[in-house]
Amino acid sequence: MALRPRLPSGSGVATALVMTKEMEKRKAKSGAKKGRVMNRIVAGIDLGDSESLVTVLSPVGNVTYRFSFQMNDEGYSLFASIVPKDARVAFEAQAWHTRSTGL
């Protein structure tokens, strides 16, 4: 008969279910809706030193279009003219030291 390691008290499936139920109660209380779709356009920007690439997603997550713009006043104006002002914008999250050292 093989011995099974003992898990600390409160780390079982029952505890996970209780935690999930508590989270559901908090969401219901706060008015969060299950399966809600964000009704906003999202623009993801891959920043570059001289040129950046933008991918625009519809509110349901489909790629609407892609374009690039120069990192200067003309490029910023182009970005502002294409991406709606109420869109959510996501930037890449690469650290500066990573980019400069190649790590």
Summarize pLDDT for 45-81 with one digit per residue, the tens. 998 889 999 999 999 889 999 999 999 999 999 999 9
DSSP 48: -
Q: What residue ranges do the domains of the chain occupy?
A: 42-101
Q: Any idea of the CA torsion for 95, 96, 100, 103, to the nearest 10 degrees?
A: -10
| pTM for this entry | 0.54
The pLDDT score that the predictor gives to residue 7 is 47
CATH number for the domain running over 42-101: 3.30.420.40
The pLDDT score that the predictor gives to residue 61 is 87
Region of residue 67 (left: phi > 0; alpha: psi -120 to 50; beta: else): beta
